[in-house]
Amino acid sequence: MALMTGEQFIESIRKMNMQIYMFGEKVENPVDNPILRPSLNSVRATYDLAQMPEYEDLMTVKSSITGEKINRFCHIHQSTEDLIKKVKMQRLLGQKTASCFQRCVGMDAFNAEFSTTYEIDKAHGTKYHENFVNYMRFVQENDMTVDGAMTDPKGDRALSPSKQADPDLYLRVVERRPDGVVVRGAKAHQTGICNSQEVIVMPTIALSPEDKDYAISFAVPVDAEGILMIIGRQSCDTRKLEGSQLDVGNSQYGGVEALVVFNDVFVPNDRIFLNGETEFAGMLVERFAGYHRQSYGGCKVGVGDVLIGAAALAADYNGAQKASHVKDKLIEMTHLNETLYSSGIACSAEGSKTESGNYIIDLLLANVCKQNVTRFPYEIARLAEDIAGGLMVTAPSEKDLKDPVVGPYVEKYLKGVNAVSVENRLRILRLIENLTLGTAAVGYRTESMHGAGSPQAQRIMIARQGNINGKKELAKAIAQITE
């Protein structure tokens, strides 16, 4: 089964026995839960589009491991063309779902693990790369969605993992056995974990020798014994319980985050990709972060396309589409969005082959891409809210619109352009609200700030990769300075 259908994916998740908690209660049926289902639909889109001939070139690729046709989300990048198509695929999915479609983290973890395990084996004579290639064969043959888990709770940021008052605030090995290890800790902000079949765990920071037990990377099923998920709240999340598509804004698709607890989870030896080699933790973190920062030049751009279109429609429905300032705001939104896309394409086109054979993006440009993403979506959202007007956050509910007593007043006084129904006007305003303030804002605006690392994390990498000394030499040569 190199390519699953969307329905097969849904049924594969239904068969799992995940321990999921939300609002203080265990979720017995996450697949059909009205709050969680839109996020599952977003992942399903990655399977459905791969079945469509018109998207075959972007969504599928020949595997370098099995030789079979696979979903690109399971691929190990073999060229700069692969890196570019990845970004284009992510933009397409953003356009189709207007939300986070959740498979990017696993894809980026795959490629970071592939090259890093190769270099660990070369230095230490370990078999992590063999373990990982076998794991990737399993993932590709079953077309799996795999969550990438990097972010630890961290506790006191001024202290290293081993110096924390509670040693579990960074995930660690608590027992070593002949057949594997036992791990304990947690991973925060886990996008799509409850819609995944597997999870790849990685360290979250570079580590020193005294933090050896924290230098661990592995993969396990998400329903492995000892794993528990606590779903995070989102703005307007309980609107999904009310049965109104209009009030939700984007009722079909969405995202989901969770705090994932690893309570003494056993990991067999053949699922381990790093185990105590602290000097390689930083490499794994840096490479994963680079790939994931590239991703934001695709997915956020696709969602931005939807938001720009929604803002333009709001202007049409308000009768303001000819106003010069509205035209200028739409131009600015487009300019910012395409600048993000150009960064994603640039860091891909400037990618290079690693020692292991797969391709990595240009790390400097990937960090520039993500630094732009921490800023531009906020301005795009601000301009969309400006164009939409205050009714975006003060409009009555669909029940009021349909109510026999107050409904006629809503219809009378919230009319915009006469040819457009009040319901359609409210639908587009609710979509803008969803993208800028509601549940989708987690996957667009706020995630643009903190996903794949905070703005300062990118600035640190830009400082490292920026080659200031080399630029000084260029200036000296032009100024004819000799020392």
Q: Is 100 a catalytic residue?
A: yes
User: How far is residue 221's CA from residue 75's CA, in Å, rounded to a whole number?
Assistant: 19
Catalytic residue, candidates 46, 47, 74, 299: 299
The catalytic position among 74, 100, 194, 369 is 100
Catalytic annotation, pick one of 74, 117, 292, 444: 292
Selecting among 46, 60, 104, 126, the annotated active-site residue is 104
Annotated catalytic residue 447: yes
Backbone region of residue 90 per phi and psi (left: phi > 0; alpha: psi in -120 to 50; beta: other values): alpha
Q: Which of 97, 191, 278, 374 is catalytic?
A: 191
Active site includes 347?
no
CB 203 within 8 A of CB 217: yes
* Choice among 296, 317, 341, 359 that is catalytic: 296
Per annotation, catalytic residue among 119, 257, 277, 385: 257
135 is catalytic: no
Instruction: Assess whether 299 carries a catalytic annotation.
Output: yes
The yes-or-no answer on residue 104 being catalytic is: yes
Residue type, 254: G
User: 80: annotated binding-site residue?
Assistant: no
Would you please indicate which residues are annotated as catalytic (active-site) residues?
A: 100, 104, 191, 257, 292, 296, 299, 447
Question: Which residues line the annotated binding site for FAD?
Answer: 191
Question: Which residues line the annotated binding site?
Answer: 191
